[in-house]
Structure formats: C-alpha cells, structure tokens
Amino acid sequence: MIRVPQMTGKLCDYGCGRQAIYTFKNGKNCCCKHNQQCPSIRKKNSEGTTGHKGRSFSIEERKQASKKFKSLWKDPKSKFNTEEYRNKIKNFGEHNGFYKGEFTTEQLNKIKDGNRIAWKNPLSTFNSKEYRDLLKKRQKEFRSSIKGKLLSSNAARKRWSDENEKKKHSETIKEKWNIGCYTNNRTPSGRKTKPEIQLQEILDLLFPEKYRYTGDHSFWVGRKNPDFKMNHKKKVIEVFGVYWHGKEMTKVCNLQHELDYLSYYRKYGYDCLIIWENESKSSIINKLQDFQGIT
C-alpha cells in the first residue's frame, strides 16, 4: 500500500523538528515516507552502529556477535540450517528486485508511484537545492564517462531499430509541427558538427561571404533545415553523416536517399548539393566548383 502524504498538524516524532506529513501504523508521525529517511534518524545512523535504545556497540561486542552468528550457521541443529528457513531466505531473494536485478511490472509501478509522490512533496529531499545540484553533477559526470556514452549510444540504436518506436516518434513530431510547437527559432538548438565546421572553412576559402550557415534552424525550406544556403540565390548544401543518413537508419540505399532530398528541394525551386562526411577534401572542392558552375 502506498503512503499518501498529508498535513497532520504535528511535528515529527523522531526529533528532527520538521512538520510531520506521514502517520505510521504504530501511531508515530514522521516528516518522511520512511522513518530511516528522517534527518534525525539518518544522523544517528551515521554516528555509528547502535544497539538497544540507541546504545553504541563496541568493537569487542560486534566481534562477539559475529562469532556467535557464525557458530549458529555451522550448528546443524540451528534454525538457520533448517530447510524451512533456507527456503524462506531463497524465496525472499527471488521476489526481491534489488537482489536479482529484475523487477516485476507491479514492483516497477509501485516504485514509480512512490517516486512521483516524493518529487511532488515540497519537504522532500528531492526538492532541496543541494540534492538537485548533486544530481546534475552526477548526471554530467556519468554522461561524459565512457560507460555513459556507450550505454547512451546502445540505447539510441536499440530504440531506433524498433519500428513501433520510430512510428510513435514520427507521429509525435508531426503532431508538434501541426500545433505549432516547432517554429524556425524554437526547434531544438543545433550546433555545428565537425564535418560542417570543415565545410565552412572550405566555403570561406573558395567563396568568401557567399554562403552562410543555416543548420542552426535559422532558415527552412518546407520542413527541412539545410546546413548552408547561398546568399541571394536558391542554392543549399546538406552535410550527411554516415550513420544518421546511412542505410541502417534510412532503410534505403544512399543514392535513393540523396535523390529523395534533391527532389524535395527541387519541389520548392532550390538546387541542393549533398556532401558526405567521409568525402576527401579534393572531392568536396570539385563538387563545390561544379555546383557553382566553375570549370
């Protein structure tokens, strides 16, 4: 059963001095969903291992307790060695998502509901500035790590290989276009890729001040955003990445993919030149000269 927060009008019974918003079955009021999350309890736990009525265990006492439990596990007459007890431990592990690393749908929904309630609670730790700053810092560190990049890349490939997921994403984007969520200056911000930067340098060298970068969503032809546009003329340049414009993603051969783009721009009266990121510099220069009509 999920505990629902509600203002009790009383202070936390565990000594933190905060407003209580949960009432437990034992009749005690607490500021958190679980008493172990209360700042007062957490402080006591951080001070060391405590025993009965908050009394701290000495190192000697802990050693004695450890020795006693080890002897009980070895004793064939102990309850720890009964089949009933071992099955109980085994069943507990099999139904515990943290133990096996797998959760049932019911367990996941319960965790999600609990997290949603916690995030909505203004007194929750999740809503403190310190926690949010820590979360941002850890997310940034993980994304920049090799493991984070690998997991992100694998997740993206898996998601985009699912036809149902691609169809769902396509319908969502179309719906946003129709209701006006995307405009020329309100789409997700675009940044120059390495191939676009290299092409910009070649354009500035061969045709200074003739082409401007428009891949930042500053210029649109229908629903397509070309990477470069020639000033005062209907000429655009598209830079294709090998992965995102390759056969694996487009499901058509590269030539057909190029023809689709060329016909789309031609429909609006634009000439389009396509540059692939793996083309050599000499090949790009020859293409640009032919596109400009220079022999």
Per-residue pLDDT of 259-268, as tens digits, reads: 999 999 999 9
Q: Answer yes or no: is 270 within a domain.
A: yes
Helices within the chain (DSSP H only): 39-46, 59-74, 83-94, 97-100, 105-120, 129-144, 146-160, 163-178, 194-206, 247-250, 254-267, 281-292
Number of domains in the chain: 1
Type of residue numbered 239: V
Over the stretch 6-20, which tens digit does the pLDDT of each residue have?
Answer: 656 788 888 888 888
Amino acid residing at 130: E
Angle made by CA atoms 269, 274, 279, in degrees to the nearest 5: 165
Q: Looking at the domain assignment, is residue 285 inside a domain?
A: yes
Q: Greater confidence, 92 or 170?
A: 170
Average pLDDT for residues 66-85, to the nearest whole number? 83
Instruction: Report the CATH number that the domain containing residue 284 is assigned in CATH.
Output: 3.40.960.10
Q: Is 233 among the domain residues?
A: yes
Q: Tell me if 238 sits within 8 A of 262, measured CB to CB.
A: no
The encoded tokens of residue 197 equal: 């930067």
pLDDT band at 70 (very low <50, low <70, confident <90, very high): confident
Domain range for 222 is 194-292
CA-to-CA dists, residue 123 to 11, 41, 46, 118, angstroms: 13, 16, 21, 9
Q: Which of 94-98, 136-140, 165-169, 281-285 has the least mean pLDDT?
A: 94-98
Whole-number average pLDDT of the chain? 81
Flag whether 237 is in a domain. Answer: yes
Tell me if 230 is assigned to some domain: yes
Q: Give which of 254, 249, 247, 223 is closest to 166, Cα–Cα.
A: 249
Query: 138 or 262: which carries more pLDDT confidence?
Result: 262
Q: At what angle do helices 281-292 and 194-206 cross, to 10 degrees?
A: 50
pLDDT tens digits, one per residue of 188-235: 445 788 999 999 999 999 999 899 999 888 899 988 999 999 998 999
Mean pLDDT computed over 247-259: 90
- On whether residue 151 sits in a domain, the answer given is no
pLDDT value at residue 184: 46
> Does 126 reside within a domain?
no
Residue 241 lies in a domain: yes
C-alpha to C-alpha distance for 286 and 295, rounded to whole angstroms:
9
User: Is pTM, for the whole model, over 0.75?
Assistant: no
Q: How far is CA 135 from CA 103, 121, 147, in A?
A: 24, 17, 18
pLDDT value for 180: 57
Tokens representing residue 172 in the block: 């969502």
CA–centroid distance for 90 within its chain: 34
Decide if 196 contacts 227 (C-beta within 8 A): yes
